[in-house]
Amino acid sequence: MIFSPIIIGTMRWGSWGANHSKKILQQLIESALSENLTTFDHADIYGDYTTEKLFGVSFSEMQIRREKVQFISKCGIEMPCKNRNFTAKSYNYSREHIINSVEQSLANLRTDYLDLLLLHRPSPLMNPHEIADTFDFLREQKKVRHFGVSNFSPSQFELLNSCFPLITNQVEISLNHTEAFWNGTLDQMMMKNLQPMAWSVMGNYFSEDTEQNRRIKTVMQEMCRKYGAEENQLMLAFLLRHPANILPVIGTSRAEIIKTLKGATDITIENSDWFRLLEASAGKPVP
């Protein structure tokens, strides 16, 4: 197994969220490692291109052996912001852009290699042959060990995978967003014996008071009592119950929630309870 069963997302740790200090980041890293959660998910753009560096500085002072952890990063989005003067938000998968982005991530994370590089979002202009050549180069240089994509449709995955072996597709999946169950994304991963990764695993459950969330909450409260679990643990257990062996990327910026969420790996939601949650999400029973 390359990655820990729950992946630690860093998107909200810096200026796109909690704006944590180096000290708090170190506590979060420590908390994850104490639960044997060793994989950290990054992207070049997080915190307007600043969060990887914040993490790298924090991690490098902790005397943790690099081979004890896994770093994922993503590239391909050009985001106009105060740290970059791109003229428009664009996707760029040219050889030059991918290599430059990896070099930046390595420098920011203060490491010699990424365990996994993901193409952040599919682009109509991506050339799979150019990308495959670039991936070959990065692998030969020992700068990236494995390659994958994020937010790709099954056919987009197939297109690039026909030129270069990919190991995952990181997509949005939660009780609020169940499209991946039906659109072939998870089927494809299972057929290829690959593990999908899920982002925004809490959906908007804790951030928005929607009709859907009110329906889910009614069922959740009953199930929390039945399973002796917290709502966030059941949100995660719902994904972990899927046979695709989903690797959830959790986004919390609180150490105690990392510990709570690890507990979800011990919960198996019964079949009919899983469908009650799905029904609450959809607002109607399955046909």
Ligand X SMILES: NC(=O)c1ccc[n+]([C@@H]2O[C@H](COP(=O)([O-])OP(=O)(O)OC[C@H]3O[C@@H](n4cnc5c(N)ncnc54)[C@H](OP(=O)(O)O)[C@@H]3O)[C@@H](O)[C@H]2O)c1
Binding site for ligand X (CB under 6 A): 9-12, 18, 41, 120, 150-151, 170, 199-202, 206, 232, 249-254, 257
Nearer of residues 12 and 146 to ligand X, judged by Cβ: 12
- DSSP 8-state class, residue 118: E
What is the nearest approach in angstroms of ligand X to the Cβ of residue 200?
A: 4
Amino acid present at 75: C
What is the nearest approach in angstroms of ligand X to the Cβ of residue 209?
A: 13
Three-state DSSP at 117 gives strand
Strand ranges (E), 103-205: 114-119, 144-150, 169-172, 197-199
What is the nearest approach in angstroms of ligand X to the Cβ of residue 69?
A: 15
Q: Using alpha carbons only, give the angle 86, 88, 90 rounded to the nearest 5 degrees.
A: 95
What is the nearest approach in angstroms of ligand X to the Cβ of residue 175?
A: 10
Nearer of residues 32 and 201 to ligand X, judged by Cβ: 201
Of the residues 46, 49, 93, 205, which is catalytic?
46
Our answer to whether residue 205 is catalytic in this structure is no
Residue whose entry in the numeric block shows the structure tokens 């990896």? 102
- Binning the chain into helix, strand and coil, the percentages to the nearest 5 are 45, 15, 40
Three-state DSSP at 16 gives coil
- Alpha-carbon distance of 85 to 78, in angstroms, equals 9
CA 126 to chain centre: 22
What are the residue numbers of the active site? 46
